[in-house]
Amino acid sequence: MANFKYRLRNLNQTPYMTTGLVVIMVLVFVAMTLAGGSTSLNVLVAFGAKVNPLIQQGQWWRLITPMFLHIGFTHIFLNMVTLYFVGTQLEAAFGHARFLIIFLVAGIGGNVASFCFLNSLSAGASTAIFGLFGAFMMLGESFWQNPIIRQLARTFLAFVVMNIAFDLFTPGIDLAGHLGGLIAGFLVAYTVGVPQIGRVSVTKRVVATVVLILGLVWLYLHGMAQ
């Protein structure tokens, strides 16, 4: 019995959601490479990159699939390193299921924002990764009295500011997707809560959920109307 409890505790502390996401994205990247190359426009479209006209024609899944695609080795390498080191910390804080929800909703939120404001093809886990940064901002706001969380929140806030500044002066970067993912991650982190650390007020959770849903609906409808 004691051995079973130890295994269960060890499983709960293992970042298997983060690891699983990394494995999936690497396998997709390998498949894209074998299919003709991850930088090939035809391959990107075939694998589900965000293409506005196709989404407007009803291919709504292109608001989900882009977060699992990457354009070139440098793109996936940097994203996977960031995802692993940020994801392992957040998965430990929020728990496996809540972490996965944050990642997916943030990725969708970023892609919907990109769909609304950017006409060009886009792909990458950056939308969801920025959502993880947003979740750290939520922890900093909700548990500011905790010195460790406060320091982490400050560090990631500085990192986000630097990345956004970099985005502003780098052509081809999906700034709308990054900001959309950041905000969606911040809001959905309130929605799911973080019971392993502490209680988040019901008012904050309800307000965040309503703002998140209304925001996603408005962005989607605005993108469809263009």
222 is catalytic: no
Catalytic member of 38, 114, 122, 126: 126
Sole residue written with tokens 């792909």: 123
Using DSSP, state whether 115 is helix, strand or coil: helix
Which amino acid is it at 174? D
178 is catalytic: yes
Alpha helices (H) in the chain, listed in sequence order: 2-13, 16-35, 41-47, 52-56, 73-94, 96-117, 126-142, 147-168, 175-192, 202-225
Q: 69 exposed, middle or buried (CB, 10 Å; 0-12, 13-18, 19+)?
A: buried
Rounded to the nearest 10 degrees, how much is the dihedral formed by the CA atoms of 127, 60, 70, 82? Answer: 30
DSSP symbol at 173: -
Catalytic residues: 126, 178
